[in-house]
Each structure stands twice: as structure tokens, then as C-alpha cells.
Structure 1
Amino acid sequence: MPLHDLLTAPRVAIMDMPASDERVAGGQANSPRDRVLDAAARLLSGPERASDIATALRDRERLASTALGEGVAIPHARCSTIERCHGAFLRLSRPVDFNAVDGQPVDLVLALLVPEHDIQPQLLRLAELAELFADPDFRRDLRQARDIDELRHHLLAGQHPAPLPRAA
């Protein structure tokens, strides 16, 4: 499944993560992982349903880590009010602990909202996405994208698109 079937440009973001000793605005003490899931929920839903989606993402993450290794996580949650899967992508400025089996913190996050009845297709989709993110060149391209436009290009133009021209 190509990522452009799951993502739209507004649901791709580069997220600034404060240093571990910094507090987020308002002095909230949410874990960095929870802040990432909250941001993903806002991208997936808009502000009106973000809290419910963030809770669903956190509940799923508590069952088992969605980190694939190599700095990638695919948090996901089921939703009874949607008919097709959609996603949000975050590249984090500082990696965050997602309890990955390989011990590496995560800096590439593809969050998915999946229809409640979508069990078998979801498993196949996750396997396809895991294979895509297993490609070290693809991960490198995402990490080295110099801005949001280049990041969106790599995600939405298909696997390994031609490089964008560099400014002189």
C-alpha cells in the first residue's frame, strides 16, 4: 500500500521535541511518547476528536510497543466511525523511547487510524508498512529531508522518488 493512500500533506509534520529536562508549555508532565501520540491524534482527527484518538493510541501502546526497530514506530488504533484507514506521519527532532525490542528510540512515527471491522486488511497493511520502513535508504531519505516539503515528497510521491533539485 503506497503511503499516499494513507497520508495527505497536512498530516505530515516535523515535530520539535524538547530536551528531556524541558517541560512542555503549561508545565504538563506527559511523557515524550504521550506527547508524540497526542500530536499524531491531532493530525489524524483535528482538535474535536483528538483526545479520544490519543487515548485509543495510548491504550494500544500499553498492550505492546508498536516500535518496529531502527527508530520507527507505527502506533495504531481502531475507530468505529471511519470506513477507511488513514494515517499521520511525524519526524521527531529528538528520538523518543517507545520500548523498541532493539532498544533504539524512535524518530519516525506513522500513526494509523483503522476502521474497527478492518482486522485482516490491517494485518496485511502493517506487514507492508513494516517492509517499507525496513528499507535503510527509505529511512535515511526521511531523516535527511531538509524541510517539510522534501519530507512530504519522499512520503507522498511513492517509494524512492527522484530527489528534489537542491538550491544552489
Structure 2
Amino acid sequence: MSDTSLTIDNILLPELSLCRIPASSKKRVLESIAEQIHQHDATLNATQIFNNLVARERLGSTGIGQGIAIPHCRLEGLDHVIGVLVTLEQSIDFDAIDNQPVDLVFALIVPKEATSEHLELLSQLAEKFNDRAFCDRLRQCEASGTLYQHMTAGNP
């Protein structure tokens, strides 16, 4: 990874921005994210991604509060960062720090050796999601293209 100035719009693709997906549990959301990544890139193993996301959640919930979760994990053999943004049809329990159910999820899958990039992207995401009006705009999106545009707007 030569580019150390990763931003959200470098890692998120329109086809990995999904509106109002049905999910009944945290496990189902993580499965769905892993499946979406595999559909986008068949060389990536959905089960391995799912297992890595679950292993990370066991260390502590990635539910950061106000209905938002940023599940993330490292993946052996990955050579670029992948972002997946989903809004959920219904809020679900995610063991978030404020005990509020989650309906806005941004998953981050990073190469095993990417450390500073990983932290920088988490910081950018936390900053964006700290803006309640921004989050409300994401939640109101009905189409994946609109969701993608809202998420990447304003990045250099």
C-alpha cells in the first residue's frame, strides 16, 4: 500500500453502498456485509471476512453510539482497503456503547499489515458520523447511488 492518504471516497464504491437491507441481528448484518464483499470480489472469502468481523466484535462492540456501528477487521492477503456502507431496514441490537439499537453501519476491511491507514479511516468515519444531520441524511436515502453520493460528498 503506497498511498497513505486514504479517504472514505477512495475505499467506498457505489455497489457497496446499500440502503435499507433487512437484518434481524448483528450476526446477520456481518454475514450480509461479508457476502456483499464476496459478490464484489469473488477472490475474497465471505466466511473468512465474516469470521474476522465476528472475532473483532468479541473484543468489544464496534457500535459507537447514536445508532451507528463501524465493524472492522484485518484480512490476510488483501491488498487494498474495502468499505461497505449499509442502512438497515430496522434498527437492531449491536451491543453499542450507549445501548441504542443500530441502523447505520460502515464496515472497514483492511489488509493485515495496514495499521496507520486503518486508524486514519476509523478517525475520518467517527468524525463524519459525529454530525447528526449528516447521519440523518444517510438514513433518509432510498437508493444506493444517493447513499454513496452523500457519504462521499465533501471529501477532497
Matching of residues 11-160 of structure 1 within 5 Å: 11-17=16-22, 32-46=25-39, 49-158=45-154
SS at structure 1 position matched to 2:136: helix
Q: Deviations over 1:43-100 (max 9, x none)?
A: 2232661111111101111110001111111101101211221111110010111111
TM-score (normalizing by structure 1): 0.80
Q: CA deviation at 1:38?
A: 0.6
SS at structure 2 position matched to 1:109: strand
Q: CA deviation at 1:10?
A: 0.7
Q: Which runs of 5+ in 1 are unaligned?
A: 21-31, 160-168
Task: Work out whether residues 72 and 108 of structure 2, in 8 Å CA contact, stay in contact via their aligned partners in 1.
Answer: yes
Pick closer, same or farther for the CA change 1:6–1:100 going to 2, 3 Å.
same
Moved more, 65-74 or 122-131: 122-131
Q: 1:10 pairs with 6, 15, 29, which one?
A: 15
Distance 1:15 1:63 in 2: 27
Task: Work out whether residues 67 and 103 of structure 2, in 8 Å CA contact, stay in contact via their aligned partners in 1.
Answer: yes
Q: Which runs of 5+ in 2 are unaligned?
A: 1-5
- AA aligned to 2:109 is L
Structure number with the bigger relative contact order (C-alpha 8 A, sep ≥ 6) is 2
What is the number of residues matched between the two proteins? 147
User: Whose radius of gyration is greater, 1 or 2?
Assistant: 1
Q: CA RMSD in A?
A: 1.8
Distance 1:86 1:16 in 2: 19
